[in-house]
Amino acid sequence: MSFPRCALLWARLPAGRHAGHPAAVCSALRAHVGLFPGSLGRVPAVASASSSASGGSKAPNTSLFVPLTVKPQGPSADGDVGAELTRPLDKNEVKKILDKFYKRKEIQKLGADYGLDARLFHQAFISFRNYIMQSHSLDVDIHIILNDICFSAAHVDDLFPFFLRHAKQMFPVLECKDDLRKISDLRIPPNWLVYPEARAIQRKIIFHSGPTNSGKTYHAIQKYLSAKSGVYCGPLKLLAHEIFEKTNAAGVPCDLVTGEERVTVGLDGKQAAHVACTVEMCSVTTPYEVAVIDEIQMIKDPARGWAWTRALLGLCAEEVHLCGEAAAIDLVTELMYTTGEEVEVRTYKRLTPISVLDHALESLDNLRPGDCIVCFSKNDIYSVSRQIEIRGLESAVIYGSLPPGTKLAQAKKFNDPDDPCKILVATDAIGMGLNLSIRRIIFYSLIKPTLQIAGRAGRFSSKYKEGEVTTMHREDLRLLKEILNRPVDPIRAAGLHPTAEQIEMFAYHLPDTTLSNLIDIFVDFSQVDGQYFVCNLDDFKFSAELIQHIPLSLRVRYVFCTAPINKKQPFVCSSLLQFARQYSRNEPLTFTWLRRYMKWPLLPPKNIKDLMDLEAVHDVLDLYLWLSYRFIDMFPDASLVRDLQKELDGIIQDGVHNITKLIKISETHKLLNLESLSAESQSRLSGTLKSHCGTAHSSAAEKSLASRLVQQGLLTADMLKQLEKEWLTRRTEYGRERTESGTYSKGTRRKKKEPDSD
C-alpha cells in the first residue's frame, strides 16, 4: 500500500487508534464501525429500539411514504478503500448474506420497532440489496462488516445499522416521526392557533339562534351598525356585498373585502371602521367593537369549516355575534369554554308562517306566480325551464356556477312585480345570499338538505307573508314532511386546516417530498380533540398535483393551491397551471397577455355549451383577481380585469335571459343531453313506464331489459319510444328485403349479413 493511501486511511481513523500496518488499521476500523451512529449490536439493539419508536401514538399509514431513490455508488476517486484494507467482496457470498439477513425474524421485528412495517421493510431491503450489489465501491465500514461476516468474524445482524441508515435515506419520515407528530398535533387549537389579540381581551359572545326568516341576522346587524367599528363575516360574496351596500346606505362608511375584490369607500384610501367580508378574509389582528359571524353552523362544513373556527377563536372584538341554527349552540359553548368565555343565547322564532301542502304539484301546468322549483342538477334546470317555456310562461334561472351579477339580475327580474317573469327555477344556490319574493317552494327531487331552502318561502321582507312548501311528485311528499319535522342533529365538531407555517415545518424535515404528499402525511400524523376534525383537503391536493412539476417556492406553491377553483372545469384548471408557469418564469400576467390567452373578445353564447364556456372564463377572471391580491407585481392589472369581468357578466346575463332558446338550439344540434337526469328522476321514469305497461305485465316489466336500463339511467321513456319507432321501421324494411330477395327460402344458402343488419 502506498504511503499516501496509508496516510489517507490513517487520517480517517479516530484519535488514539493509529496503527502501523494493515491488520492494525482493520482492527481500528472495526472499532470505528462500532461507533457508527445508530449501530446497535445484536442483543442491545432490540432493547434500545424503543427510544426511537413512536410510543403510544397511532401507527402511521405507511402507504403514504413515497420512497426516494438511493443510487448505488459509482467508482470512487480514492479507489475501493475497503477492498485494499481487506479483500474484494465475492458478490455471490454477499447475496447469500443479504438473503439470510432478510429472512431473519429478529431483523424484521427490529425493523418494525423502528417503523418499518412489512411493506416498508421489503421495499427498503430490495433497495439496500441493489445498492450493495451494484455499487462499484462501498463505504469502508460496510465493506469491512460484509467481509467479516463472510469469514464468520461478525454476525449477519451487524448489517442492521447500515440497513436502517439506508431505509432512513429512502424514507426520511422514519428519521423525524416524533418531530412530525409534534408539528401536526392539532389538539387544543386555542393554544397552537395563536390569537394573542383575542386572548388579551375578555370577549362577549352572543349566539342569535333561529330558523331561516326569524330576524336573527337582522338583530346582529343592528348592533354592528350602531358600533364605532365592526366586521361582518359572511359565507358568500353575495352576502358580503349585500351588507356592504346596506351599511353604506345607512350612512355608515363600510369597506368590502372578498377573495377577489377590495373596495375602500374613503376618498383618501383610508380604511373604514366597518368592513364586510367573506369569512375566510376576516382579519384576526384588527380590533373591532362588534363582530358578526353569519351562518355559524357552517363550522361543520367538510371543506370550509376551518374558516368559521378561525373567526370564532381569533376575532379581536369586544362583542362577537353569532348567527345560525340551534344545532351549533352546544359546540360553540364547549369551544368557548376552552378560551374562558361564556356564551349568551338569544332565541328567535320564524316571523311568517310556513306550511307543507298536502298535495304535490304533479304537473307544471299547476304553476302559479311566485313559485320556485328547486332542482339539484343543471340538466333538471334546463329540462324544467324548457317545459315551462313550452307552456307559454317565463322563468328566471339561478344556479351555483353563475356569476354573482347574473344571479342578482335574475333575482331582480323574478322579484320585479312589473316583469312578466313570475316563476323561478333554481338549485340550492338560493339557500343563502339572495332576497327572493317566493310564495311556494317546489322540490323537484329530495337529494340534499331542504330546511334552509324551504325557509326561503314567504320571507318577512317579501310580498308573500305566508310560505308554502311541496314537491313535484306525490311520492316525495311524505319524505319532505319527515325531513322538515325531523329534529336537527347537534353539530359535534369544528373544522381545522393546517397553516402554511406547519406545512413549511413539515417540508423542512421532508425537503424532497411533494406538497400533495406532505398534506397526506400531515393529515395522517395529525391528532385532534373530539370537538374538532381536519377539513377535507382534496381540492388543495388536486391543485398541488396539477402544478407539482412547476418550479415554485413552497410558500408560493401553497398560495396557488389555496386558490378557489372549480376542478370540474378543464379551462379553469389549465389556467391555474398556465398562471403558475408564467409566475415561475417571472413573467407578469398583464392585461394584454390575459386577453390574448382568453381569445378576447368573446361572442355571445349560441347554445348551452357556449354559456358554460363563458362561465368558465368568468371563473378564470376570478382566479386572476384572487391571485392579484396575493402577488400584486405578477398580476398587475386587477382593475382592467375587473372591468373585463363586468363586460363578460353582461354577456352571460343576456345568455341566461335567453336560456330557453339556447336549450332549444342545443337539443337540435344534440349538444345537450336532457335525458341524463338525476337518480330520482330515473326512478320516477321507471315507475312511469311500469304504470303504462299495466298491472298484468308488471312482473315482466320489472325483469325486462328496457326496465333495467331505465332504472340504471341508461335509457329514458322518450329514448325507449324512439328506439321502438326505429326498430319497427327497420324491421319493416328488412322484411321487405327478405320477401323480395327470397334469401331465406328452403334449400337456399343464407346470404351474408350486411354490417348494419343488426
| Full DSSP string of 402-449 | S-HHHHHHHHHHHH-TTSS--EEEE-GGGGSS----BSEEEES---S-
- One-letter amino acid at 79 equals G
The confidence score (pLDDT) of residue 276 equals 97
Candidate from 351-355, 504-508, 520-524, 525-529 with smallest mean pLDDT:
351-355
Candidate from 356-360, 517-521, 562-566, 705-709 with smallest mean pLDDT:
705-709
The confidence score (pLDDT) of residue 708 equals 57
**DSSP state for residue 430 in the 8-state scheme:** G
* DSSP SS3 for 495: strand
Q: 440 - beta bridge partners? A: 371, 468
For range 601-606, the mean pLDDT: 92
Q: Which residue has the higher pLDDT, 203 or 400?
A: 203
Q: Which residue has the higher pLDDT, 704 or 643?
A: 643
450: pLDDT strictly greater than 60:
no
For range 462-487, the mean pLDDT: 82
435: exposed, middle or buried (Cβ count in 10 Å: 0-12, 13-18, 19+) = middle
Q: At what angle are helices 679-693 and 474-485 packed, to 10 degrees?
A: 140
Angle at 461 between CA 456 and CA 462, to 5 degrees: 65
545: pLDDT strictly greater than 60:
yes
Query: 451-457 long-range contacts, Cβ below 8 Å, gap at least 24?
Result: 451/211, 451/212, 451/483, 451/484, 451/488, 452/212, 453/374, 453/428, 454/212, 454/354, 454/484, 455/211, 455/212, 455/213, 455/350, 455/354, 456/212, 456/213, 456/372, 456/430, 456/431, 457/354, 457/372
pLDDT band at 660 (very low <50, low <70, confident <90, very high): confident
Helix (H) or strand (E) holding 205: strand 204-209
Query: Considering the chain, what is the average pLDDT of its residues?
Result: 82
Q: Domains (ranges, CATH) in the chain?
A: 68-174 (1.10.1740.140), 196-347 (3.40.50.300), 354-485 (3.40.50.300), 519-661 (1.20.58.1080)
CA–CA distance, 23 with 35 (Å, rounded to integer): 19
Q: Which residue has the higher pLDDT, 754 or 346?
A: 346
The confidence score (pLDDT) of residue 38 equals 37
The confidence score (pLDDT) of residue 737 equals 53
The confidence score (pLDDT) of residue 664 equals 77
Q: 317 - beta bridge partners? A: 288
137: pLDDT strictly greater than 70:
yes
For range 258-272, the mean pLDDT: 90
- One-letter amino acid at 8 equals L
Separation of CA 600 from chain center:
30
3: pLDDT strictly greater than 50:
no
Closest listed residue to residue 437, CA positions, set 416, 468, 410, 407: 416
Using an 8 Å Cβ cutoff, are 396 and 424 in contact?
Answer: yes
The confidence score (pLDDT) of residue 217 equals 93
For range 348-352, the mean pLDDT: 87
**Which is it for strands 354-356 and 395-398: parallel, antiparallel or unpaired?**
unpaired
For residues 52-65, one letter each, b for 16 or more C-beta atoms within 10 angstroms of the residue's C-beta and e for the rest, the string is bebeeeeebebebb
What SS3 string covers 686-743?
Answer: HHHHHHHHCHHHHHHHHHCHHHHHHHCCCCCHHHHHHHHHHHHHHHHHHHHHHHHHCC
The confidence score (pLDDT) of residue 57 equals 63
653: pLDDT strictly greater than 70:
yes
Using an 8 Å Cβ cutoff, are 143 and 86 in contact?
Answer: yes
pLDDT band at 413 (very low <50, low <70, confident <90, very high): very high
Half-sphere exposure for 76 (CA within 13 Å, toward CB): 15
32: pLDDT strictly greater than 80:
no
The confidence score (pLDDT) of residue 597 equals 95
Residue 574, C-beta contacts closer than 8 angstroms, at least 6 positions apart = none
For range 296-319, the mean pLDDT: 96
The confidence score (pLDDT) of residue 33 equals 41
Helix (H) or strand (E) holding 432: none
CA–CA distance, 408 with 227 (Å, rounded to integer): 29
Instruction: State how far the alpha carbon of 233 is from the alpha carbons of 197, 204, 270, 699, in Å.
Output: 18, 17, 20, 57
For range 119-141, the mean pLDDT: 92
CA–CA distance, 308 with 146 (Å, rounded to integer): 60
For range 718-744, the mean pLDDT: 60
754: pLDDT strictly greater than 70:
no
Using an 8 Å Cβ cutoff, are 289 and 319 in contact?
Answer: yes
C-alpha cell at 559: 398560495
C-alpha cell at 301: 362544513
Helix (H) or strand (E) holding 336: helix 329-338
Q: 441 - beta bridge partners? A: 372, 469
Residue 379, C-beta contacts closer than 8 angstroms, at least 6 positions apart = 673, 674, 676, 677, 678
Q: Which residue has the higher pLDDT, 86 or 457?
A: 86
* DSSP SS3 for 372: strand
Q: 643 - beta bridge partners? A: none
pLDDT band at 430 (very low <50, low <70, confident <90, very high): confident
For a pLDDT cut of 90, what percent of the chain falls above it?
55
Using an 8 Å Cβ cutoff, are 65 and 130 in contact?
Answer: no
Q: Which residue has the higher pLDDT, 671 or 541?
A: 541
CA–CA distance, 143 with 392 (Å, rounded to integer): 89
Using an 8 Å Cβ cutoff, are 507 and 547 in contact?
Answer: no
Angle at 41 between CA 35 and CA 45, to 5 degrees: 115
The confidence score (pLDDT) of residue 249 equals 95
Closest listed residue to residue 400, CA positions, set 155, 221, 213, 619: 619
Q: How many CB atoms lie within 10 A of CB 119?
A: 11
The confidence score (pLDDT) of residue 755 equals 38
Using an 8 Å Cβ cutoff, are 429 and 362 in contact?
Answer: no
Which residue bears the cell 417556492?
553
- One-letter amino acid at 170 equals M
* DSSP SS3 for 208: strand
C-alpha cell at 530: 373530539
CA–CA distance, 376 with 427 (Å, rounded to integer): 5
Residue 517, C-beta contacts closer than 8 angstroms, at least 6 positions apart = 64, 66
pLDDT band at 605 (very low <50, low <70, confident <90, very high): very high
Q: 469 - beta bridge partners? A: 356, 441
Residue 601, preceding peptide bond in cis (omega within 30° of 0): yes
Which residue bears the cell 406545512?
503
Helices (H), 49-188: 81-85, 91-103, 105-113, 118-134, 140-150, 160-170, 177-183
534: exposed, middle or buried (Cβ count in 10 Å: 0-12, 13-18, 19+) = buried
Which residue bears the cell 343531453?
673
311: pLDDT strictly greater than 70:
yes
The confidence score (pLDDT) of residue 529 equals 87
**Which is it for strands 262-263 and 254-257: parallel, antiparallel or unpaired?**
antiparallel
CA–CA distance, 49 with 179 (Å, rounded to integer): 17
Residue 13, C-beta contacts closer than 8 angstroms, at least 6 positions apart = 25, 28, 29, 32
Q: What is the per-residue pLDDT across 276-292, written as a single tens digit (0 to 9) for each?
A: 999 999 999 999 999 99
369: pLDDT strictly greater than 50:
yes
Helix (H) or strand (E) holding 11: helix 3-12
pLDDT band at 678 (very low <50, low <70, confident <90, very high): very low
* DSSP SS3 for 277: strand
pLDDT band at 492 (very low <50, low <70, confident <90, very high): very high
CA–CA distance, 370 with 383 (Å, rounded to integer): 20
For range 567-574, the mean pLDDT: 93
Using an 8 Å Cβ cutoff, are 661 and 387 in contact?
Answer: no
Judge if pTM exceeds 0.75. Answer: yes
pLDDT band at 705 (very low <50, low <70, confident <90, very high): low
**Dmax (CA) of the chain:** 111
